[in-house]
A and B are shown apart, each in its own frame.
Chain A
Amino acid sequence: MTLKQLLVGQSGVIKTLTNNTQFNDRLKALGVKKDNIVEIIRQAKFDGPFHLKIGTTEFMLRSDIAAQIDIEIITPKAA
């Protein structure tokens, strides 16, 4: 599934990035790379950007890009 399909509060393991290699370099520098765990903190209104967290880095990512990134959802622990 894609990063965009995750809900706020859920986490996933990153599998593949976008097909824009130049942009992928920028993503990697921010920690968006294979096997890293990404968490969705919030999303802006009207399908706006996601507020994401990987390790100690927080950043925003437009939702059309999130739709291009494949992840594997981490099943949430029982509350």
Chain B
Amino acid sequence: MKRVALIGMPNTGKSTLFNRISGASVKVGNWPGVTVDLHSVKTILNGELVELIDLPGIYDLKGYSEDEIVVQDFLKNNQIDQIFYILNSTQIDRQIELAMDLKKMNPSIKIIANMIDEAKAYGITFDFDKLQALLGCPVIPISAKHNQGLDQLNKKISLRNASDPSKNDLKRIINQTVFFPKTLNNKTTKKLDAIFLNPVFGLPIFLFVIFTVFQFVFTVGQPLQDLMASFFTYLEQTFINNLLLNMNVTLKSFLMEGLYAGITTVAAFIPIIILFFFIMTIIEDSGYFSRAAFLMDKVMEKMGLDGRAFVMMLMGFGCNVPALMGTKIMRTKEIRFLTMLVIPFSLCSARLQVFLFIISAFFAATQGAIVLFCLYLLSFFSIFITAVIFKNKYRSHEPLVLELPPYRFPTTKQILIRGWQEVKHFIDRASKFIIIGVIAIWALTHFPEGLEVASADTYAGQIGNLFEPIFSPLGIEQMLIIALIFGFIAKEILIGAFAVIFGLEGIALSAHLGEVFNAGQAISFMIFTLIYTPCLSTIATLKNESKDRLLTFISITWSLMLAWLLSFAFYQLYLIV
């Protein structure tokens, strides 16, 4: 089978083209370093079955960050029948040199001049016929995002063999074939930067943006979640209960108070997840991440990190796992490790669900939004304090230069696909971890038989008792300790656990929680949940990516300690005040 590889500098649209050709849905984003691993797919190109490969972006052929090494290894160890060299047409003058370096290694190369839509809008014009004749290889203008010119990818172009141009020739060739206007027509980006990168207001605007986003998710998502929850309750009362009338009591309890209650309580969050990732996609594709890096770099430098680490944290708001992988773009081990150490404190969407759940049980809507925002601030704070404490252990001086791409907006299709991907991801997790967790908690709270459910003598109660001395100063009670233990696997289990432990779901569950716990206990529980480790996948990823046992160990023990200390401090203060 023919092997076709997409190679190019970061953020040039390789993954967008990969998705276009193959119908796949690998992640796309307006940030250099979205793809950090190789993706391969079998697809039809030019009526022929080929293996198409998407790769991380590279700046040159000898780069030394891990994502660049992925590409070098690939080039070294694989026979490639066709290289598609993707470049950003608006930056052809600086991206063409790498194409010529690649051509020397492998002459079957086609230059794909992507983002031709942007080039047009900027007022840049090209003489492609002349360009490809002078370069001695095909140059095909396309817009991967807007699906223009893709039919030309397969066209056979015969060119006379030109000798490889020298670097000076290259400059001349570009001057003869690409015409830049005197002033680039990129007013939108300029205007937006004047606002978002404003030396005084930039940072406050950033905080405001974050606050608005979560406020939005909160106010729009909450009613949707209630609706889902009511629907599941309705389903149970009018339909499922009738089916199970004659069933064995224990089995029925297992099915309804265990599986059904646990899973539906978690599933009620699907609309919020979708909504959240719609917004996340828009932000990631807007180019605002790079601006956040610019705004925060100085502060991050003081903590031994840099602006990129801040962006990883923001990515971690979605899920910590890809954020940890994203650190591959860092070249120095120390700064990469320090970044990996702080990412797990980033309040991911799974923890967001837990907090929305608890907050809605204890606080009115306006108050709730503020509590949630404070949890985000606490997430930042944990990151800062961790970095400051460990910055001498992982000290580095990696010089930093980072592209600021123009502002972009994702297409509706891109947003929808991403939302769908996340739902799939969620269902995937739910069907593994969450079901297992819910079943285990049901069993622990219902056995030995004959006892009151979730009472002190059940297995759950006994385990809780064991840890009680550690958790009672935090205001966290016996039964919730079991929930926390399983929350170690995945945070959504916590929500399911509440449902199972109290044998309730939906609105009834929220009401009940509000009666048996006070607000201080609820907040203390949330603080602990935020900090004590995100989930098993995150820890596994951290270990795989760092290949460092010490770092993994530090990460786990330090987060447990910090979680305990902050919950303790909060709860004791709460008791006094």
Contacts and interface: CB of A to CB of B under 8 A. Distances in A.
A74 interface: no
A55 interface: yes
Contact of A29 (B98, B124, B307): B98
Contacts of B202: 44
B334 to A, nearest CB: 16
B199 interface: yes
Interface in A37-77: 41-49, 51, 54-62, 64-65
A20 B297 contact: no
Contact of A61 (B122, B200, B400, B406): B400
A43 to B, nearest CB: 8
A65 B398 CA distance: 11
Contacts of B197: 42, 44, 51
A68 to B, nearest CB: 9
A31 B94 contact: yes
Interface in B382-408: 399-406
B278 interface: no
Contact of B401 (A22, A45, A61): A61
Interface stretch (B58-66, B227-235, B449-457, B569-577): B58-66
A32 interface: yes
Contact of A25 (B9, B63, B403, B405): B63
A62 B91 contact: no
A62 B122 contact: no
A60 B200 CA distance: 18
Interface in B91-129: 91, 93-94, 98, 122, 124
Given A26-B59, A44-B294, A59 B94 contact: no
Given A45-B199, A55-B93, A25 B400 contact: no
B64 A56 contact: no
Given A55-B93, A56-B91, A49 B403 contact: no
B168 to A, nearest CB: 11
B180 interface: yes
Interface string B45-67: 00000000000000110111000
A20 B301 CA distance: 19
B265 interface: no
A42 B294 CA distance: 11
A58 to B, nearest CB: 5
Nearest to A61: B401
Contact of B297 (A23, A31, A62): A62
Nearest to A32: B401
A7 interface: no
A18 interface: yes
Contacts of B307: 49, 60
Contacts of B405: 58
B310 to A, nearest CB: 12
Nearest to A45: B199
B199 A59 contact: no
A27 interface: yes
Contacts of A1: none
B91 A65 contact: no
B438 interface: no
B62 A25 contact: yes
B90 interface: yes
A57 B184 contact: no
Contacts of B134: none
A62 B94 contact: no
Interface residues of B, number: 36
A59 B399 contact: no
Contact of B60 (A29, A31, A51): A29
Interface in B34-86: 59-60, 62-64
Contacts of B402: 59-60
A57 B290 CA distance: 14
A45 B399 contact: no
B401 A20 contact: no
Contacts of A42: 193, 197, 199
Interface string B282-316: 00000000100111011001000001000000000
Contacts of A41: 193
Interface string B187-198: 000000100010
Contacts of B404: 51, 58-60
A48 B297 contact: yes
B401 A30 contact: yes
A45 B59 contact: no
B416 to A, nearest CB: 30
Contacts of A26: 59-60, 63, 401
Contacts of B293: 60
A61 B403 CA distance: 9
Given A62-B399, A62-B400, A56 B90 contact: yes
Given A49-B294, A49-B307, A59 B60 contact: no
18 contacts: A18-B399, A27-B401, A29-B98, A31-B94, A44-B202, A45-B199, A45-B298, A49-B400, A51-B193, A56-B90, A56-B122, A56-B184, A58-B404, A59-B403, A60-B297, A62-B301, A62-B400, A62-B401
Interface of A: 18, 20, 22-23, 25-32, 41-49, 51, 54-62, 64-65
For the complex of A and B, 3 pairs with smallest distance between CB atoms: A29-B59, A48-B298, A31-B94
Given A28-B60, A62-B400, 15 more contacts: A18-B399, A25-B62, A29-B9, A29-B98, A42-B193, A45-B298, A51-B294, A56-B184, A57-B94, A60-B290, A60-B294, A60-B307, A60-B404, A62-B297, A65-B400
